[in-house]
């Protein structure tokens, strides 16, 4: 009985070992194996694109380099493991650096300076807008590069616009409020807003209101560093303009204290005519599980904010943390492949992410495949990019902004007081 159980146990252990080793093989002579832990697997929206990048890289560099993937499902699980590996000095050659992980790695002195490699390859460098390079620069060194970007404008319901006699999107904020008045007069709530969570939809609108106030506002929303002072005319004037959406009854009652899902549902259900959001929302318009339908999706249009502004928050990218010259060389080849024009277009076609580049010509098939994505890609070519407020403030400011915005929307505090409170928290939380 014991021997039988032991045989079963050993057989099970052997099977587990074989499963663990599945997909792995010994390195060929002269082949460098790149160990690559990644969270972009399984249900992750970038899993298909990541698998394709691995496949094409291994095919391109067969016999020289080979990527060996280690799956770490979950964004936080991945970040936590990288922090542990950083402390133990066992980081992989190439590391994805979301949120604060890049600063954690840079503080430990493990990030390779990519500046010489970028300067030596002008065509590669040209793929990255200055905002992206600045975002990933520390002490004059570019230490990471992304292979995805972000585009945020606003969506509007064409059927509701036509019902109110509105021809199309506003070119100025004055025209925007005129459209809101027309929609309200037709019994249509103009725009989805919310003050809960990080007040995402509301702060997107505020960002572009600030940008349109003039040179000070545009500089404020394109800064490459966090802000400490919000008690400036452009921010205060932007707040006063934003408040009109509540005081003039242009949004839903549940917007004060409401969460993002409420704002999104109000638009998808047809209760509002507009919502500010990124291109990741497009799929939900036709998704029955999200309350959408193909009929609704066909009635949605996308536009840049008044003044031809759009939000393009730069992403943290991939950092090379290899210790040896061989590892650095292999990781650089991988990073170039990950961020090449060919890979960026492949990722765009798979709808996993937008291009960080502003220099790649968008093929017609990409524009035609996804109508709304294609439209904003074309519109953004002649637009002016900004960063959202949430991308420009210190930790802790977001929560205070959300709390204070609820009071502000209800008329219980002034624009000057709100700007002053945000300034106090920003200065309190700066390093």
Which tens digits make up the pLDDT trace of 104-153? 899 999 999 999 999 999 999 998 888 889 889 999 999 999 988 788 99
Name residues whose C-beta falls within 8 Å of residue 364's C-beta, 6 or more positions apart in sequence.
Answer: none
Mean pLDDT along residues 362-368: 76
If you write DSSP's letter for every residue of 127-169 in order, what string do you get? TS-HHHHHHTEETTEE--B-S-B--EEEEEEHHHHHHTT--S-
Mean pLDDT along residues 319-335: 97
pLDDT at 135: 86
Q: What is the DSSP letter of 196?
A: S
Report the distance separating Cα 378 and Cα 118, nearest Å.
27
Segment holding 273, helix H or strand E: strand 272-278
Mean pLDDT along residues 271-280: 94
pLDDT at 132: 87
**Axis-axis angle for helices 47-60, 325-338 (nearest 10):** 120
Q: Are strands 309-311 and 384-386 parallel, antiparallel or unpaired?
A: parallel
pLDDT at 4: 40
Residues 155-206 pLDDT 10s: 999 999 999 999 999 999 999 999 999 999 999 999 999 999 889 999 999 9
Phi-psi sector, 363: left (phi>0), alpha (psi -120 to 50), beta: beta
pLDDT at 355: 62
pLDDT tier, 277 (very low <50, low <70, confident <90, very high otherwise): very high
Residues 234-269 pLDDT 10s: 999 999 999 999 999 999 999 999 999 999 999 999
Q: Which of 141, 166, 147, 148 is nearest to 156 (CA)?
A: 166
Residue listed under structure tokens 């609820």? 406
348 vs 321, higher pLDDT: 321
Domains and CATH numbers, the chain: 30-145+316-355 (3.40.190.10), 152-313+382-429 (3.40.190.10)
Sort 184 into a burial class: Cβ within 10 Å, 0-12 / 13-18 / 19+.
Answer: middle
pLDDT at 45: 66
Q: Which of 15, 28, 87 is nearest to 63 (CA)?
A: 28
Residues 51-74 pLDDT 10s: 999 999 999 999 999 999 999 998
Q: Are strands 94-96 and 318-320 parallel, antiparallel or unpaired?
A: antiparallel
- Alpha-carbon Rg of the chain, whole angstroms? 24
Report the distance separating Cα 193 and Cα 264, nearest Å.
9
Q: What pTM did the predictor assign?
A: 0.78
Residues 31, 63: contact at Cβ < 8 Å? Answer: yes
* Alpha-carbon 357 to chain mean position: 14
């Amino acid at each position: 009985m014991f021997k039988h159980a032991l045989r079963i146990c050993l057989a099970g252990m052997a099977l587990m070992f074989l499963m663990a080793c599945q997909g792995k093989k010994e390195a060929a002579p002269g082949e460098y194996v790149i160990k690559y832990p990644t969270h972009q697997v399984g249900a992750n929206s970038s899993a298909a694109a990541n698998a394709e990048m691995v496949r094409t890289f291994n095919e391109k560099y067969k016999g020289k380099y080979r990527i060996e993937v280690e799956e770490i499902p979950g964004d936080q699980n991945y970040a936590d493991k990288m922090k542990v590996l950083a402390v133990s000095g066992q980081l992989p050659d190439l590391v994805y650096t979301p949120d604060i992980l890049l600063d954690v790695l840079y503080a430990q002195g493990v990030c390779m300076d990519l500046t010489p490699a970028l300067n030596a390859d002008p065509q590669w460098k040209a793929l990255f807008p200055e905002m992206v390079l600045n975002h990933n620069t520390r002490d004059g060194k570019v230490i990471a590069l992304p292979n995805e970007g972000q585009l945020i404008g606003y969506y509007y319901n064409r059927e509701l616009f036509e019902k109110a006699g509105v021809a199309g999107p506003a070119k100025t904020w004055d025209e925007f409020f005129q459209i809101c008045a027309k929609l309200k007069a037709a019994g249509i709530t103009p725009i989805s807003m919310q003050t809960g969570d990080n007040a995402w939809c509301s702060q997107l609108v505020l960002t572009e209101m600030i940008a349109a106030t003039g040179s000070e506002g545009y500089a404020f929303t394109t800064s490459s560093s966090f802000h400490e002072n919000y008690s400036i005319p452009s921010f205060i004037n932007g707040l006063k303009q934003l408040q009109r959406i509540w005081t003039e009854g242009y949004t839903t009652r549940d917007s004060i204290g409401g969460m993002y899902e409420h704002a999104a549902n109000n638009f998808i259900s047809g209760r509002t005519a507009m919502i500010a959001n990124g291109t990741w929302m497009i799929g939900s318009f036709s998704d029955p599980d999200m309350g959408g339908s193909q009929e609704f999706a066909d009635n949605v249009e996308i536009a840049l904010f008044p003044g031809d502004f759009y939000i393009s928050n730069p992403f943290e990218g991939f950092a090379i943390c290899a210790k040896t010259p061989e590892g650095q060389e292999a990781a650089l080849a991988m990073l170039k492949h990950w961020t090449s024009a060919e890979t960026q277009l492949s990722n765009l076609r798979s709808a996993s992410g937008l291009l960080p580049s502003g220099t790649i010509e968008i093929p017609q098939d990409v524009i035609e495949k996804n109508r709304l994505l294609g439209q904003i890609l074309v519109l953004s070519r002649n637009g002016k990019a900004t960063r959202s407020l949430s991308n420009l403030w210190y930790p802790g400011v977001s929560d205070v902004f959300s709390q204070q915005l609820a009071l502000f929307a209800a008329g219980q505090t002034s624009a000057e007081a709100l700007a002053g409170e945000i300034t106090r928290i920003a200065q309190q939380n700066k390093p």
